[in-house]
Structure 1
Amino acid sequence: MRPLGRKKVARSAAVWLGVALSAVCAWLLVRGTRAGEVRAALAEAQLFWLVPVTSLLLLAFVLRAERWRSLYAPGRRPPLRDVTRALYVGYLFNAILPLRAGEAARIVALDRRGGAPIAETTATVVVERLFDVLSLLLLLFLMLPWLPVLTWTAAASALAAVLVVALAAAVTALALSAERLAAAAVRGVARLPGLTEDRVAAPAERVLRGLAGLRTVRTALVAFGLTTLSWLVVGLGYWLLMRAFEIELSPLSGLLVVIAIGLAMILPSSPAALGVFEGATVLALAAYGVDESAALSYALVLHALSVVPFLLLAPAILPAYRGALRRAQRVPATASAAPDSPART
């Protein structure tokens, strides 16, 4: 089988795995809840809480846009307006396509509107995702003394250990010999058919620039601080929404829901992580003894608040990105570095 054929098969398998996982989660949720109680909880929800919750989620979105922008080296940061629009495109495509295809879409969208080279932007997205997971795990371990007993703490600890070791190794390697590593990578990639060192060198340099979040202490601290602040704002919003369903828990419960959903997003899933999102929410609330039907009602509204606003804005924003998004279909959803125009610096 040709490499292109193998790649297509692998992506199809990942899509079906994600759909299957979402279906299993949905089945488990439906099996453990009572439809009548879910409908009753939705009907009795105090909808005025949606206003402050939506405002907090909007604030968190702006913070995450600024966080993404801060991961670029000073002097190379795109305008916040372009970054915010590209991030919106990413959220929208994650909502309507599987395998987090929005990551590729926002990379190409920022290249189209903000002039940020694809290779450099891809590197910032990789660092961003690393900071996301590390921040969630840090918050989890700081909260543990005040949380109920969790069945998945051991798995989270193992993930944290792996990520910390990987991050330490990456930072050390970049600090000691970033240029040598880049040169070695260029020589290795240049051995592939149809590639030369001259053709690969420019994208490799841009990837190195995009790793400013790992190479510069100030950049890393600012980006990690904004990451953590955005999670805290989201957690506050999630907690306020619980009040709409008369789920009386501490503010830490909102953060626990954020952490559970954030870690669950590592798994492949269907568009908008249907089933997986709700399953993670119900699992987090189960630690507090919240009834599954009430938890599912809350999860459904929470998921709608996380998706519907982006769908409503699509007709106003997407036309400007039509050409760029067609290009995004040719960019791997894993956000791997892709060569861009040699003219870009």
Structure 2
Amino acid sequence: MLNLKSVLKYLVLFAIGIGILYFAFSGQDLEKIWEEIKNANFLWVVFSAISVWIAHVLRALRWRMLYQSINYKVTFWHTYHAVIIGYLANLVLPRFGEIGRCSVMLKSEKVPMFASIGTVITERLFDIFMLLLSAFLMLLCQYDLVSDFLFKTIYVNVVAKIHSINYFWSILLIVLSLSLIAAAIYFIRQALNKKFLRVYVGLKQGFNSYSNLKNKSLFIAYTLGIWFFYWLSMYLAFSAIQITSGLGFNVAFTALVFSSFAMVAPVQGGIGVFHWMVAQALVLYAIPFKDGLAYATILHSSQFLLTIILGCLSLIFVISKK
């Protein structure tokens, strides 16, 4: 059950997402962006959404393999519905979906909570590895474009902000940061002292779930398939609007990496951060920022709607089964 502190934290995160969304769209011609969205070829948007759905199916199959490796004979459909409900929960509370889908498996398959959490940790470790590998390949293959963005958009802005702060505020910021780090270390240690055994068991089961796999190559194939269909969804959505219809797989790959880092941000559904990052990725390929925003809005809205529809259907299934 959420307490007032947690509610305030999530409200702040949501407000940050809305703020970034406002920042991304401020100064843009909203009428032209809306005109592009209205004139989009939504058949390609549907194809893009189907590609995302296939990635969800592969994620459920991959997760089921981890359960089977630690001797929990779960069904595909319960695993699939848990994954979809997890995505639905993430739209409300960031990172709550991981706990949510574990709760579904507890109710539907009687799998202990920390056994599920262990498998989720393993799954997420592979996703992090794929994200870092994708980012490395992006830098390796398109270094000139991406390095220019990192220098001009990130490094220069950060340095300019630092230089604009006087010494008093700099010292105050450092003291505040150190205080927050010290407080975080204290509370983490307290939490570990109380829950160390359960955390340890969950982590151990998580790592064991992969090491006990009989068919690791299939698990890796599912992982590659998940990321391929995410990549494909970005590419298919290019054809939805005229100005991005000629972009290739290399642009889709860059947009995928940028959007993946955006989704790591602790904001509900990546709102705001996703739009800004995807639009910035397309700017590297001479796509105007406003057109990139139109593309990002179409893509994010289609995935949001897909999650709502599939999530509600999965909730109905789980509740009716109960």
TM-score bucket of the superposed structures, by smaller chain: 0.7 to 0.9
Q: 1:297 aligns with which of 270, 279, 294?
A: 294
Q: 1:233 aligns with which of 229, 235, 254?
A: 229
- The corresponding residue for 1:49 is 44
Deviation at 1:101, TM superposition (A): 1.6
Q: How far apart, in 2, do the equivalents of 1:33 and 1:190 lie?
A: 48
1:84 equivalent to 2:80? Answer: yes
- The corresponding residue for 1:208 is 204
TM-align CA RMSD: 3.4
- The corresponding residue for 1:98 is 93
* Residue identity in the other structure for 1:262: S
- The corresponding residue for 1:128 is 123
Q: How far apart, in 2, do the equivalents of 1:264 and 1:190 lie?
A: 29
Q: How far apart, in 2, do the equivalents of 1:143 and 1:10 lie?
A: 39
Deviation at 1:243, TM superposition (A): 1.4
* Equivalent residues of 2:259, 2:274 under 8 A apart: yes
Instruction: Sort the Cα spacing of 1:295 and 1:264 in 2 relative to 1 into closer, same or farther, 3 A.
Output: same
- The corresponding residue for 1:72 is 67
* Equivalent residues of 2:117, 2:202 under 8 A apart: no
Q: How far apart, in 2, do the equivalents of 1:317 and 1:293 lie?
A: 36
- The corresponding residue for 1:31 is 26
Any idea what the Cα deviations from partners look like across 1:230-254, whole Å, max 9, x if unmatched? 1111111111111111212221222
* Residue identity in the other structure for 1:40: E
Instruction: Sort the Cα spacing of 1:35 and 1:222 in 2 relative to 1 into closer, same or farther, 3 A.
Output: same
Any idea what the Cα deviations from partners look like across 1:73-107, whole Å, max 9, x if unmatched? 52335221110010011011112x12222221111
| 3-state SS in 1 of match to 2:250 | helix
Any idea what the Cα deviations from partners look like across 1:230-287, whole Å, max 9, x if unmatched? 1111111111111111212221222222221222222221x32221221221122122
- The corresponding residue for 2:247 is 249
Q: How far apart, in 1, do the equivalents of 2:193 and 2:12 lie?
A: 34
* Residue identity in the other structure for 1:18: L
Runs of at least 5 residues in structure 1 that lack an aligned partner in the other structure: 157-187, 326-345
* Residue identity in the other structure for 1:239: Y
- The corresponding residue for 1:272 is 269
1:312 equivalent to 2:309? Answer: yes
Instruction: Sort the Cα spacing of 1:274 and 1:205 in 2 relative to 1 into closer, same or farther, 3 A.
Output: closer
Which has the larger displacement, 232-241 or 310-319? 310-319
* Residue identity in the other structure for 2:38: A
Q: 2:108 aligns with which of 95, 104, 113?
A: 113
* Equivalent residues of 1:68, 1:128 under 8 A apart: yes
Q: How far apart, in 1, do the equivalents of 2:45 and 2:192 lie?
A: 54
| 3-state SS in 1 of match to 2:146 | coil
* Residue identity in the other structure for 2:205: R
* Equivalent residues of 2:94, 2:269 under 8 A apart: no
Deviation at 1:29, TM superposition (A): 1.1
Deviation at 1:294, TM superposition (A): 1.0
Any idea what the Cα deviations from partners look like across 1:39-83, whole Å, max 9, x if unmatched? 121122122212322221221111111122223352335221110
1:223 equivalent to 2:224? Answer: no
Which has the larger displacement, 102-111 or 27-36? 27-36
Q: How far apart, in 2, do the equivalents of 1:191 and 1:245 lie?
A: 54
Q: How far apart, in 2, do the equivalents of 1:259 and 1:67 lie?
A: 21
- Counting helix residues as a fraction of each chain, which structure ranks higher? 2
* Residue identity in the other structure for 1:318: L
Q: How far apart, in 1, do the equivalents of 2:150 and 2:76 lie?
A: 37
Deviation at 1:138, TM superposition (A): 0.6
* Equivalent residues of 1:21, 1:268 under 8 A apart: no
* Equivalent residues of 2:66, 2:213 under 8 A apart: no
TM-score, normalised to structure 2, is 0.75
Superposition pairs for residues 7-18 of structure 1, below 5 Å? 8=3, 11-12=6-7, 14-18=9-13
| 3-state SS in 2 of match to 1:72 | helix
* Equivalent residues of 1:117, 1:206 under 8 A apart: no
Aligned residues: 281
- The corresponding residue for 2:260 is 262
Q: How far apart, in 2, do the equivalents of 1:307 and 1:70 lie?
A: 27
